[in-house]
Structure 1
Amino acid sequence: MARPGGFRLPNPVNSGVFPTPSGKAVFTRNDFVHLQAPPGHLVLQTLRSHDQWNTIPYADNDRYRGIRNGRGVVLVNPDDLADLGLNDRDLVDIVSVWTDGTERRAEGFRAVAYPAARGSAASYYPETNVLVPLDSVAEISNTPASKGVIVRLEPAGSK
């Protein structure tokens, strides 16, 4: 049925139609694997900002997290920053650690004290895509493992 402003595409799930042997929805789950970063390291997740669609950011502000005028930030728990000898707003390089020994570095990020879980960090993509090794992928989907990258933070320019 046509409606002003467009039309609805068929969506079997909203209609309660499931192409399974039972005709019902089938739910699965994956086992949770807790990544443990070595001492002095963090588990980085890459994320989108508020004004971002897929890999295209439309603004340098992220109202979800209170970030303004820039995307080159890494959000870290304040206690982790202290443990790493860093302060809120220090300029750092993010260096990923992977089994191939290749150094992957995202330079010149502002460390931001943020109420994140201890041992974790977060930063925007695509700015931090350089940190994700091409062979670091999810087992079944083969998608980049950009939600669990082991990293260390170094003062900017210290390499």
Structure 2
Amino acid sequence: MVIVQTEDFNAAELTAALRKRHAGQAGALVTFTGYVRDYTEGQGTHTLFLEHYPGMCEREITDICQQAIERWQVPEPTVVHRVGELHNGEQIVYVGVASAHRGDAFRACEFIIDALKTRAPFWKRETLASGERFWVQQRESDAEKTAQWAHDTPNNAKESS
């Protein structure tokens, strides 16, 4: 399930729906919720405005989820990503992954959020408390983290519980 929306989301409800959808099959559920934070090291992030390329964005996120499904033993993940103007402290993204085993769920969830940061067509414009605005550039460390997944061997450390 992939949703891109302006409205806030209820992470507890999304997790409950994920659990219900995979009832009896999942021994592990891993979720990640990302929030707007002060990216400026003390200059005071007031808002973060997220733009996206409609249609293309959802297709890329779906592709990322499909890659996770193929690499690890996980059924359909849930990804909800907000766009529009978000204030410091507000939720941006939710990723939920269910699996029979915790290792697959953890790895798939981390892969999805790493890939979202570098592959999904989102653009972020930050507004500081001073009123200064600028486009946020992709961090080299995020690109390096995503690139590391190409060297990860899927299903190489399966668990029995």
| Band of TM-score, shorter chain | under 0.3
With normalisation by structure 1, the TM-score equals 0.21
The structure whose residues are more often helix, as a share, is: 2
With normalisation by structure 2, the TM-score equals 0.21
Structure with more contact order per residue of length (Cα contacts < 8 Å, sep ≥ 6): 2
